[in-house]
Amino acid sequence: MGKESSAVAPAPTPFPNTEGHHESFEDSSPPTLPPRGISRTASQAFRAGSSEAIQAVLTRVEALAQKRVKDGFSEFNFSLGVLNCFLVTFIFCAYPEHFWVLFLAESCVLFPLKVVTLSKTKPLNNVLYLLDYCWVTNMVGTIFMFLILFSGDTLSESFRENFFLAAYGSAIGPLFGSNIAFSFIAIIFHDVHAMASVFIHLFPSLLFFNLRWKSEEVHNAWSNVFQIRQDIDFWPSGSFTGNVFTNALLTYLAWYIPYFTWQYFVGIDLPRKNRHKKLPNGDSAPALYDTVYHSTLRGGKCVALGKLFWNRSVEKSKKQVADNDFELRDFFAYMAIHLTCAVVALCCLAYPCYLSPYVHGTSIVLLLVICTWRGAKRYTYYSTKMYSSVIRKHFAKDIEDATLEAGAVGP
């Protein structure tokens, strides 16, 4: 009933309705806009003529939300991921002799899902990521485990023992060490890509913890499948093979040499913007497939290699990233570092885990903490920074223009 003030009215108070949503009760009188220089509420800016900008923001946010849902960000997937972690923990601790059965069951689910999702990626198909060492080792190892399970006495004891030594060294060496090196290995419950990465890098170490340190329980439950000796050698002794280090290294080289050859002659050209391969009409063939090598270099490694080894300018490295066209010396350096890291992982990580169950178990716990922390950071990003970052990026030019205009006008 009093005199209407020209100051900005306080924002209406929201009230929750019976469904948990909020409703606001606003004065129906015409709004009074603040003078220039005083911040406006979203509704005032909308009425002042910013409706198109706000609508663009909302459209962008909704598109991003829909993309997250399409990528699997849902209550169902999140719940399934959490419950699966509970199941894995329970079986690992309560029934260690049966953990290998769960490992095979999960691989039968995650591997096909990964193949399907990688095959659908755009603009480049990522299915060739499955040629990387970690995926090849896991898939081949899983196939051999099924062979051992259903072969009966067909496979010799010598074959079974050498397979175990190779798989054991790979699991607690290069695969285990990858959890330290790669930040994308994170426990993100709703994301099948992330959980599949955790599976192939961390689960083999969990599996072989039980096969190695709970071997008596495993043998008693599955004497017709596993005949595991405790007195295994890590380093060569007497013969070159028949030990953890050599068998794991030979397994790595069995992947490394074919992959190096394929990447050099075929793979390195596949994602190039201007491919060397030509169509019958003389045009460059289209880029259809990506590789882990190209993805890794695009993630900052090209710039790092250029600075560290070649004294290459950042601008030139970024140009190579944009074109997916890297120098051969980058490829040689990448593969040399890959080989070196595999050997270092065998010597500095696998050997201590081979010596003691306490070292092996503590390493598992530490890497689980690291992967969990990475996943927590991702969820923090989803809930606090993702939308603002996308909006700022999308409207960077408009924000810059508005800032310059405000500076020109002055107080």
pLDDT per residue as tens digits for the range 245-268: 999 999 999 999 999 999 999 999
Separation of alpha carbons 360 and 365, rounded Å: 9
Q: Enter the pTM of the model.
A: 0.80
pLDDT for residue 43: 57
Decide: residue 262, CB within 10 A, 0-12 exposed, 13-18 middle, 19+ buried: middle
Residue with tokens 């169509």, as numbered in its chain: 279
Q: Give percent helix, percent strand, percent coil of the chain, each to the nearest 5.
A: 70, 5, 30
Q: What residue spans define the domains of the chain? A: 73-271+346-382
The Cα–Cα gap between 342 and 178 comes to 9
Written as one letter, the residue type at 156 is: S
pLDDT value, residue 14: 43
Q: Is 101 exposed, middle or buried (0-12, 13-18, 19+ CB in 10 A)?
A: middle
Q: Which of 16-30, 135-149, 345-359 has the lowest mean pLDDT?
A: 16-30
Q: What is the mean pLDDT of the chain?
A: 85
Residue 274 tokens read as 């201007």
**Res. 409 pLDDT band, cuts 50 70 90:** low
Structural Rg of the chain based on CA atoms = 28
Query: Which has the minimum average pLDDT: 12-26, 47-61, 133-147, 171-185?
Result: 12-26
Whole-Å CA distances, 193 to 75, 92, 114, 197, 316: 17, 23, 7, 6, 32
Report the distance separating Cα 345 and Cα 356, nearest Å. Answer: 16
Strands (E), 58-170: none
Cα–Cα distance, 211 to 233 (Å, whole number): 16
User: pLDDT category, 57, cuts 50, 70, 90?
Assistant: confident
Contact call for residues 267 and 292 (beta carbons, < 8 A): no
Tokens coding 248: 């794991």
DSSP designation for 129: G
Closest Cα to residue 174, out of 217, 215, 138, 144?
138
Digit-coded pLDDT (tens) for 144-178: 999 988 887 788 888 889 999 999 999 999 999 99
Q: If you average pLDDT over residues 54-81, what whole number do you get?
A: 78
pLDDT in tens, 195-215: 999 999 999 999 999 999 999
Lowest mean pLDDT among 108-117, 304-313, 367-376, 401-410: 401-410
What is the pLDDT, as a whole number, of residue 404?
Answer: 66
Nearest in space to 193 (alpha carbons), one of 113, 74, 79: 113
Torsions phi, psi of 223, nearest 5?
-65, -25
- Encode pLDDT of 383-397 as tens digits: 777 767 766 766 666
Position 50 pLDDT exceeds 70: no
Position 382 scores a pLDDT of 80
Beta strands in 141-264, from DSSP E residues, in sequence order: none
Amino acid identity for residue 399 in this structure: I
Of 323, 163, 366, 148, the residue nearest 247 (C-alpha): 163
HSE, side-chain direction, 13 A CA sphere, residue 118 = 21
Gap between the Cα atoms of 242 and 256, Å rounded: 20
Q: State the Cα–Cα distance between residues 225 and 6, nearest whole angstrom.
A: 84
Q: What is the pLDDT of residue 29?
A: 46
With beta carbons less than 8 A apart as the criterion, state whether 45 and 54 touch. yes
